[in-house]
Structure 1
Amino acid sequence: MATEKIAAETRTEFGKGAARRIRRDDKIPAVVYGHGNDPMHVTLPGHDTMMALKHGGANALLELEIEGKDQLALTKAVQIDPIRRVIEHIDFVAVRRGEKVTVDVPVHLSGDAAPETLVVTENATVQIEAEATAIPEHIEISIEGLTAGTQILAGQLELPSGATLLVDPETLVVNVTEQVSEAALEAELEEAEAEAGIEREEHTDTDAEADSAPAGDAEGGDAAEGDASEE
């Protein structure tokens, strides 16, 4: 994993008002935790930090320059404004080179499974232990040509050198099933309704004709009856 260097400024103002002022200046408030030290509250340049996180992925490793000293920081939580889609705050964990850390790494599927199959990602991430400077951005899984009934378990994944799987090797990650047709889905629905005692309403041809008859015809019929009664 590439490490990008970001110049950080220490901050002494806290609270919502201070955070808003920081964001107005296109900067991001952040906190660095870890190694038994007091949390370090910093301010990061908005654009450079956003690009670094984009390149590094979910577990981006940044080298923060804080008051002339470099600190490796592993991204742990990123708060994003749901409307404006801008970064509001970042939590980091301080790490050292050679130190092993626990991370959840996303899985990426490549290729196409066999025709008429449905590929389901049962677990979008896998937890591993790896050196802080060697965390993979993702774990690639090839599904090229896989047929229905194929299952890929966590223990079958190809991890980078030095990484250790922390989840049960029998954990299902990808499941390839047979694609269900619309007719089969309808049959399953009818069977489920029958078991639940639900009866569908059947529309007869007479009902359909009544539903499709213009409203004016019915009104005309009423008027004719009225004329006949007056006579």
Structure 2
Amino acid sequence: MDFVELNIKEREIKGKSASRQLRQQGLVPAVLYGGSDNTKIIQLKNKEILKIIQDGNRNAILKLTGLAKDTTAIIKEVQKEKTRDNIIHIDFQKVAMDTEIETAVAIELIGEAEGVKEGGVLQHSIRELSIKALPKDIPEKIEVDVSELEIGSAIKVDDLEKLPGIEVLTNLEDNVVSVVPPTELKEEEIAPEEEELEEGEELEEGEELEEGAE
């Protein structure tokens, strides 16, 4: 199978201040763990990992180069800023091609539900499916066609297409997506004091984002 190559570099210094400096240089702090080796503190170019993700390779098997020996791994977790889409930290997990791993795969809805056309509201309850599979069998995403969903109907985990070599860990009875009737609030049900802030009242200012801990 094909691997997506990514160059990484081991780093000596860690901590919030060091991570902040890396990001200012266009680098992303990260960790690499798994297998019999100790966890490695690494760094990589922000533009390279962004390209991998944007090209649809979020769940691809990566060939990490730049250390003493090349390593196969997957992206386990991506931490982003709350207010922006900037990557602040990444966790990589080493994988062996002959060993199953547990991971999460994004669920993408396609089509327009019939119930939505009739005024219903689409509820996307599960956005990632927890699975167990060999690295080569992990899909980039799972597409779910919602075109035939009517008001009051749902697609459960057990209704999804069965993919070979994949064990689904998410509860099979959970709703992935459903269409519910529209909720209409009558004007008299809204208390006057809830319609707007009282004179002199202010919204609390949100806290600033703290730098991600490693």
* More helix as a share of residues: 1
1:210 aligns to what? none
Structure 2 CA distance for partners of 1:155 and 1:2, relative to 1, 3 Å: farther
RMSD value, Cα: 2.6
> In structure 2, what is the Cα distance between the partners aligned to 1:28 and 1:154?
35
1:154 offset after TM fit, Å? 0.6
> In structure 2, what is the Cα distance between the partners aligned to 1:84 and 1:175?
29
> In structure 1, what is the Cα distance between the partners aligned to 2:151 and 2:175?
15
Q: Does 1:70 align with 2:73?
A: no
Structure 2 CA distance for partners of 1:147 and 1:86, relative to 1, 3 Å: closer
Correspondences of 1:124-163 after superposition (within 5 Å): 124-163=127-166
Q: SS at 1:123's partner residue?
A: coil
Q: Percent identity?
A: 30
User: How many pairs are equivalent?
Assistant: 189
Deviation string for 1:124-169 (max 9, x for gaps)?
2221112223321221111113222222111110143211111222
Larger Rg over CA atoms: 1
> In structure 2, what is the Cα distance between the partners aligned to 1:83 and 1:111?
29
Unpaired runs of at least 5, structure 1: 201-231
CA contact (8 A) 2:149 2:178 kept: no
| Structure 1 length-normalised TM | 0.71
Q: SS at 2:35's partner residue?
A: coil
Q: SS at 1:141's partner residue?
A: strand
> In structure 1, what is the Cα distance between the partners aligned to 2:126 and 2:67?
41
Structure 2 CA distance for partners of 1:84 and 1:125, relative to 1, 3 Å: closer
Q: Which amino acid aligns with 1:99?
A: T
Q: SS at 1:69's partner residue?
A: coil
1:43 aligns to what? 43
> In structure 2, what is the Cα distance between the partners aligned to 1:156 and 1:84?
35
Structure 2 CA distance for partners of 1:3 and 1:159, relative to 1, 3 Å: farther
> In structure 1, what is the Cα distance between the partners aligned to 2:174 and 2:31?
34
CA contact (8 A) 1:58 1:105 kept: no
CA contact (8 A) 2:111 2:145 kept: yes
1:96 aligns to what? 96
> In structure 1, what is the Cα distance between the partners aligned to 2:109 and 2:67?
42
